[in-house]
Chain A
Amino acid sequence: AQRVTQPEKLLSVFKGAPVELKCNYSYSGSPELFWYVQYSRQRLQLLLRHISRESIKGFTADLNKGETSFHLKKPFAQEEDSAMYYCALSGFNQGGKLIFGQGTELSVKP
């Protein structure tokens, strides 16, 4: 079964601390993995995708096929990083369907 699991519903850190949002997936094949972010009262937007291997707003994510994980990391969290983060998966022959995890709310305290 295709599934994306984000084990933490809420993650609270202090400004300047490292942050890691966990994402594990289940998919038979080679999926495309994404991280989407939804800031308060703003639209859902793409943060990262695994094939681009970029760093956006200081965030990085590495696809680990052995552990079927795609954790999101940032070495020094900022208050403006506070948002809902969704890990999502897209597979071949899925018609573009995105399978979302349940989301992790990141709260960065001053």
Chain B
Amino acid sequence: DTEVTQTPKHLVMGMTNKKSLKCEQHMGHRAMYWYKQKAKKPPELMFVYSYEKLSINESVPSRFSPECPNSSLLNLHLHALQPEDSALYLCASSPTGGGPRVEQFFGPGTRLTVL
């Protein structure tokens, strides 16, 4: 399996809901990333996990809570989101723990709409 998969593809939630996004890779990669992307804008980094430990948090609001249960799986827990959080959420992985010469492999994203 040489792809990053993300579920669900689409998610609609209210501002009081709690939901989770899931990302999986079976390429043996040791770094995993969450990005937020608005239409026709570049991805904005949210979190980086390196060897299952949170290594970067780009000052993301606490209503977004990442979790890395194992080296293949990355979750993003959502709670009390705002309508402006509506976006495409991308997961990515890379072979090593965040070196500079490492390609990131992106998932297809979860399209999130917050009502």
Contacts and interface: CB of A to CB of B under 8 A. Distances in A.
Interface stretch (B59-67, B69-77, B96-104): B96-104
Contact of A96 (B4, B40, B94, B105): B94
B97 A105 contact: no
Interface in B9-34: 31, 33
A8 B31 CA distance: 32
Q: Is the interface of A mostly helix, strand, loop or mixed?
A: loop
Given A44-B43, A100-B42, A103-B40, A95 B101 contact: no
Interface residues of A, number: 25
B103 A96 contact: no
Interface of B: 4, 31, 33, 40-43, 45, 48, 50, 55-56, 90, 94, 97-109
B89 to A, nearest CB: 12
Contacts of B55: 95
22 contacts: A31-B100, A43-B90, A43-B106, A43-B107, A46-B103, A51-B101, A86-B42, A90-B100, A90-B102, A91-B100, A94-B98, A94-B100, A96-B31, A96-B33, A96-B48, A96-B97, A97-B48, A97-B56, A101-B42, A103-B40, A103-B41, A103-B42
